[in-house]
Structure 1
């Protein structure tokens, strides 16, 4: 059922790591030099589907992933007959390469479609699971539940902002804990096919939330629906940035210098976007990893699935690596999630709406 891939280049890299690198006597200065070495490539270390065709649902989509701190991971997604069907709930699996638990449903509030789970390892030690519930995106609600035992048991789910219609909190990508302790949730609104981005801020550890104003968007520069599903990072204290999915054929960007309270007008980058999900993994300082479909055009094809690296806070992305290329127009490799842990990039994404792919990669430094 599981699949594993290690590229030839990855084998060579691992061999060099074992035989060419310094040992425990390496000086602090040398270690810092390695950490600052230029990133020139990426190698796949692990790849597999966390379940196979014996899954207890017809379709699955929109996965999220978080580390459990012991070398294993938690992955969640929505699944059921098909997206928007009333039987769709939030499902979960835990484990690591070649050792995943059977998928189980962990959230089903009522007989309405569930959407877009987001896992969050909070500073308070709890694992939070945020998700949407509603017949249509325009009027969905955000719900949240938490686990204090690595997903074995979960609290009763509650509405994040009771009575809110349209969606608060994270819409698809992970939350960001800022240097001053503020929680930022990347959010967006989709109403009557008009899309806008907002940011939800919590200064009390997720108990209460305050939404920013809609970010300023020139709709002559971004045609179609607009922008949604931002991905956040902080480059230095108070300086927060986002990249956004857009209907205009390219990823969009905005920046904040006041801990995410106010944001610059949205600009269009030169990164292609097919109006599908993206995610960011901060690598420290101005170094970033972006996972996306490098395809331009509104509702364009959703393959290949690619990781790009920037070392100048997202201005340029010289390193590109295709995790999986896809083969034909029916392929869908989409809605990725990614984070950085112990020198490795760890991610997951939709595989043809039938499975969830797990991937781990290693950065190659010059």
Structure 2
């Protein structure tokens, strides 16, 4: 990927519906981004003996000021998504500048395949929730929840967040969110049940809890056409109380859906202005400015074929209008032969930590640290 500094191009789309003209002004993001100079990597967790892969995770700031990063640590000889893996943690005591060199095992593998895809959430001043998927096979992959009352030193019993049905529910890392109302939402993509065949087009919805994760209910399925492969949803609460769902899809763009009732019902999916291969994006609100930060693979891949397009470069952008348009595009990884994806975003004062998997088999986990001033340049 060449380093380019041209501004994103504008595209005006006019749509005629029932005699009315609806005008959309979209900023189409398709590869025009400068690259942030220099190395900002503060932690690289590489594969080793009996440890073929270290992949995506999530962050949380502890009450003593330390930052905990929990990720999937694979064991054995295989780096497959179905290979054995534990959940392990590293810690930083200086705002993410340096990290511990050894792993602390948080959850030993309790699935027939593995445990992976971590989300961390502070429920209160004294409790932290750990979410992950317990994978037993293609018929049984369920999000689980544990709670710690001592800042992650120990964890309570694992409880399933989906107890009314079995199936292969994909929940990405760093996806679980708590709304301002206190409701917790888990965005899921269901690809198979014991009664159905595997379908790459996932059925998307949110499971929600209004009692800090003690009980869970299912929201409605997100309407989407059979022609679009939808997977790996993420969610962001908007300023007006609505919820934006951003969706990995095969149409050459990230797709959007919106909820006005805190995640129960959703609008039909539609393409956003974010050009993308079939790869997940991450969005989080910058606390100090209120803007949204986007991290995704900005290569605008299109065309026939599943998984067409490489997961590179890894790019950041900022939205000042709740995800409608994006600016301040910058590549943080631009190796044209690289693979970078499944990003966790964590803000620490005037910096942000980004943790993501990298390598052809996502065998390495990397954390970088950026100043917000670099993002807004």
Same fold, TM exceeding 0.5? yes
Q: Size of the alignment, in residue pairs? A: 321
Cα RMSD for the two superposed structures: 2.7
**C-alpha separation in 1, matches of 2:208 and 2:37:** 36
The secondary structure found in structure 2 opposite 1:238 is coil
The secondary structure found in structure 2 opposite 1:99 is coil
Report the counterpart of residue 355 of structure 2 in structure 1.
348
Offset of 1:93 from its aligned partner? 1.8
Q: Deviations over 1:190-226 (max 9, x none)?
A: 2212312101111111111111111001233x2xxx2
Deviates more, 1:75-84 or 1:251-260: 75-84
Q: Deviations over 1:222-241 (max 9, x none)?
A: 2xxx2122222222353111
Return the TM-score normalized by structure 2.
0.76
Report the counterpart of residue 294 of structure 1 in structure 2.
298
The secondary structure found in structure 1 opposite 2:120 is strand
**C-alpha separation in 1, matches of 2:36 and 2:355:** 16
**Matched-pair contact (CA < 8 Å) for 1:63–1:117:** yes
Given candidates 211, 230, 233, the residue that maps to 1:204 is 211
Given candidates 245, 251, 263, the residue that maps to 2:266 is 263
Offset of 1:136 from its aligned partner? 3.3
Report the counterpart of residue 311 of structure 1 in structure 2.
320
- 2:129 equivalent to 1:128: yes
**C-alpha separation in 2, matches of 1:68 and 1:56:** 30
**Matched-pair contact (CA < 8 Å) for 1:114–1:134:** yes
**Matched-pair contact (CA < 8 Å) for 1:326–1:333:** no
Offset of 1:312 from its aligned partner? 0.8
**C-alpha separation in 2, matches of 1:173 and 1:138:** 23
Offset of 1:99 from its aligned partner? 2.7
Offset of 1:54 from its aligned partner? 4.8
**C-alpha separation in 1, matches of 2:321 and 2:60:** 26
Report the counterpart of residue 277 of structure 2 in structure 1.
274
Return the TM-score normalized by structure 1.
0.79
Report the counterpart of residue 88 of structure 1 in structure 2.
85
**C-alpha separation in 1, matches of 2:358 and 2:66:** 21
Offset of 1:114 from its aligned partner? 2.4
The secondary structure found in structure 2 opposite 1:100 is coil
- 2:261 equivalent to 1:254: no
Q: Deviations over 1:257-310 (max 9, x none)?
A: 222222111111121222222211112586200111113244221111111111
**C-alpha separation in 2, matches of 1:249 and 1:354:** 26
Q: Deviations over 1:155-183 (max 9, x none)?
A: 23232233632266954333222222211
Report the counterpart of residue 10 of structure 1 in structure 2.
none
**Matched-pair contact (CA < 8 Å) for 2:315–2:329:** yes
Report the counterpart of residue 17 of structure 1 in structure 2.
none
